[in-house]
Amino acid sequence: MEKFELEPKLKDEIRSRVLGDGFMKIVQSVRRGGAVFRIAMRPVEIGGERRFQAEMTDDGQVQVKNLDADAAAAGLEEILAQKGARELHLMTGRGDLHVRVTRKGRVVVSRSAEMDREVVVLPHDRVKRLPLSAFDSAALLRATGIADGSGKVRASMRGKYDQVNEFLRMVGETVRHDGQGSFTVVDCGCGKAYLTLALACYLVEVMKIPTAKVVGVDRRGDVVESARRMAAQLDLGGRVSFEEADIAAFTPPGGAADMVVSLHACDTATDEALAKAVEWKTKYVLSAPCCQHELQKALGHGRSAGGDAFAGLLRQSILRERLCDILTDSFRAMIMRILGYRVQVVEFVSPDATARNIMLRCESGVKSGQAAAVGEYLALRDFWQVTPWLETRLAPILSKHLERFA
């Protein structure tokens, strides 16, 4: 057997799991230089018959084919014959199989515990496509520089392309709107506006919210200027606008917003965006924090917060940094929960792409000031003997809830 090759027994297992009952999805990703070649196959239903849908993504170009059982079996053989470092993930109703072939050709196999998962086979037209392929995004991708003049995604922008897709996918999963009435979004710390512009297109063209208006806010005049030029070039004038301002100093028209997004705005700018979302009575918040320095200062060397048990951890700067990131995001999630938001902390892009891949997905609609939420927050805060910046910032709204349980 050659290096990089899967054992015959493992190949047989994969064949029987893909071609047998309970198959859900197989995905193989192969890195070639800077680019990733990805092939995914899943069962679909076409005209009442079982078929397989294969989606090939090569350096950002996506091709989708519907296959009958013979063609799917042939496609699977190509997947299994692949050489080089790669990752293969197979999902079935009974559980998952994960195969990683390292750069040195070592094959590492892991299996989830046995499970009894429901297998839903969707009609082929309901299988989700990449959000950027769900509308004519060619001009957008060219104008933002994600694609070159011929429409091909640039190798250097591959990560951005994936990030925009994942972000739009999350917007699609989060927002519910009947297309009537206004829908105002504020993108806090919009930077070069890749997400702002894509979001404006997606809300109108895919989510069918013709009234959607997106405002990008950034304190850097140069990025705001270039974002305005791109919006004009794309003829998005009515849907998108940009303001040069600090998030703290910005208020949307009417003083309210339906959605606030904040991706990788630095340090406490994320807190400011969350605070604004609360003050603007925003229904949806999607926030991916960036660098977070505040707690690191508070838990610096020599500090015994958390008890001496943590001294060894806090002394190591990398571990201290990661711990502080996790604590900061936990405090944020808990404060939003106290203030009436249902909060999920999710990974929104692969950890391979960036370590900063945590997103807080918040939706208003739960009772604020619930004893359990306040109690959990106070217990964690008092254990670490810190006052998170978001608590200070939102004191006028938050303190009445905290004081009742202090």
Ligand X SMILES: C[S@@+](CC[C@H](N)C(=O)[O-])C[C@H]1O[C@@H](n2cnc3c(N)ncnc32)[C@H](O)[C@@H]1O
Binding-site ranges for ligand X (CB under 6 A):
189-191, 194-195, 217-220, 223, 246-247, 263-266, 269, 272, 290
Using CA atoms, how far apart are residues 19 and 7, in angstroms rounded to an integer?
Answer: 18
Q: What DSSP element (H or E) covers 72?
A: helix 69-81
> Would you say 17 or 332 has its CB closer to ligand X?
332
Question: At 18, phi and psi to the nearest 5?
Answer: -75, -40
Using CA atoms, how far apart are residues 172 and 293, in angstroms rounded to an integer?
Answer: 32
Q: Rounded to the nearest whole angstrom, what is the least distance from the CB of residue 192 to ligand X in the complex? A: 6
Instruction: Tell me which DSSP letter residue 147 carries.
Output: B
> Would you say 105 or 351 has its CB closer to ligand X?
351
Structure tokens at 96: 């998952």
SS3 for 102? coil
Q: Rounded to the nearest whole angstrom, what is the least distance from the CB of residue 162 to ligand X in the complex? A: 13
* Cβ count near 351 (within 10 Å): 10
> Would you say 285 or 374 has its CB closer to ligand X?
285
* Rounded (10°) angle between helices 194-205 and 158-174: 40
Which residues, at least 6 apart from 125, have a Cβ–Cβ distance to it below 8 Å? none
> Would you say 43 or 189 has its CB closer to ligand X?
189
With CB atoms as reference, the residue minimizing the distance to ligand X is 191
Q: Rounded to the nearest whole angstrom, what is the least distance from the CB of residue 269 to ligand X in the complex? A: 3
> Would you say 220 or 303 has its CB closer to ligand X?
220
Q: Rounded to the nearest whole angstrom, what is the least distance from the CB of residue 402 to ligand X in the complex? A: 25
Question: Terminus-to-terminus CA distance in the chain, angstroms?
Answer: 67
> Would you say 79 or 186 has its CB closer to ligand X?
186
Side chain identity, residue 322: R
> Would you say 209 or 260 has its CB closer to ligand X?
260
Phi-psi region of 147 (alpha: psi -120 to 50; beta: other; left: phi over 0): beta
Q: Rounded to the nearest whole angstrom, what is the least distance from the CB of residue 58 to ligand X in the complex? A: 24
Q: Rounded to the nearest whole angstrom, what is the least distance from the CB of residue 246 to ligand X in the complex? A: 4
**386, HSE (Cβ side, Cα atoms, 13 Å):** 24
Q: Rounded to the nearest whole angstrom, what is the least distance from the CB of residue 282 to ligand X in the complex? A: 17
